[in-house]
Amino acid sequence: MVAEDGIWHGGDLATARALFPEAPQPWVDLSTGINPIPYPLPALPLSLWTRLPGADDEAALIAAAREAYRVPAHAEIVAAPGTQILIELLPRLAPAGPVAILGPTYAEHGHAWRKAGYAVAETATPAEAAATIVVVNPNNPDGRVLSQAKLASLAARCTACGGLLVVDEAFADFTPEASIVPDLPDGTVVLRSFGKTYGLAGLRLGFAIGAPEPMARLKAALGPWSVAGPALHVGAMALADAGWLAQTGAQRARDAARLDALLAPHGRLVGGTALFRLLETPKAAALFARFGRNGIYVRRFQNAPDRLRFGLPGDEAEWSRLRTALTLDAPEASPPA
């Protein structure tokens, strides 16, 4: 998907169809990092659709999220209709001053801060002058994980200059040891995404975790009834289901290893998480075109043309189509623009 801001995203099969109009149907969409096997949706009471969300509904979700994410007693948690809106609102919490984003990473972070008028640098090592630092941990797209000690050091540095450390833990559910939430430092806001791990991105549900004062400001900015009643209900149920999360995490880890075995002969595996893998190869553009012609959509990158990111196939038919596309010996055509 190419957003209005020009940033490429995964998940938009309209773009895939436009690039490869002759591709076989149905498409296999491997362009996102969303769990391809979603949490089983419960039967929803009709009342969830016919009334405004209630305070009890939100309280149940917050209680489940607090437990699932191991939020400490001194911190607050705010629910939102997806993490994207939280990314857009975070600049309201930070002081004036330069922003450093550890990258390359999810492009919407930099875009949101630039729109808000901040000077932004994407860098592997944040400059000493940066008042606010943004870290995606585990990182998208390469899966890099910063240690708890490193994150605490960055938080202390931001706090010392009145700034803010933002840690986006969208892909931390299957690696809870990577999360900084249980030992949340001062001056830190953590983002958690529901839809990726639980395979329900269309539900639009995300969370911010931090000190009470900035969380109150985020909640006020979101306004009343910001999360739909069905999302509150499903989110509370799924987040309380620790057994499903553990079982699914083990299954997706096996799937990621299976994907690595398929991709390894075609380039260098740079990294990833249990929900996606990153391949580096000089043939990335040709492979993207080959997959597209065979009805398989993978994630390419504007600023890294030698890299492709692969989500996980959802069933054996999709695994078979990916394996077949990888073993084709037909001459490569020029990739689409």
Give the span between the Cα atoms of 193 and 170, in whole angstroms. 5
**SS3 call for 191:** strand
pLDDT band at 2 (very low <50, low <70, confident <90, very high): very low
- Helix (DSSP H) and strand (DSSP E) numbers for the chain: 12, 13
Identify the pLDDT of residue 96. Answer: 87
Residue 128 has pLDDT above 60, yes or no: yes
How many C-beta atoms lie closer than 10 Å to residue 106's C-beta? 21
Domains of the chain, start order = 13-38+244-327 (3.90.1150.10), 47-240 (3.40.640.10)
Residue 10 has pLDDT above 80, yes or no: no
Identify the pLDDT of residue 331. Answer: 40
Residue 289 has pLDDT above 90, yes or no: yes
pLDDT band at 337 (very low <50, low <70, confident <90, very high): low
Identify the pLDDT of residue 328. Answer: 74
Cα dihedral value 302, 38, 178, 280, nearest 10: -30
Q: Are 165 and 154 in contact (CB under 8 A)?
A: yes
Give the span between the Cα atoms of 208 and 219, in whole angstroms. 10
Quote the DSSP letter at residue 266: G
Identify the pLDDT of residue 213. Answer: 97
The whole-chain average pLDDT of the chain stands at 93
pLDDT per residue as tens digits for the range 73-122: 999 999 999 999 999 999 999 988 899 999 999 999 999 999 999 999 99
Give the span between the Cα atoms of 212 and 319, in whole angstroms. 46
pLDDT per residue as tens digits for the range 247-273: 999 999 999 999 999 999 999 999 999
Give the span between the Cα atoms of 202 and 219, in whole angstroms. 22
- Residues 187-200: what's their mean pLDDT? 98
Residue 333 has pLDDT above 50, yes or no: no
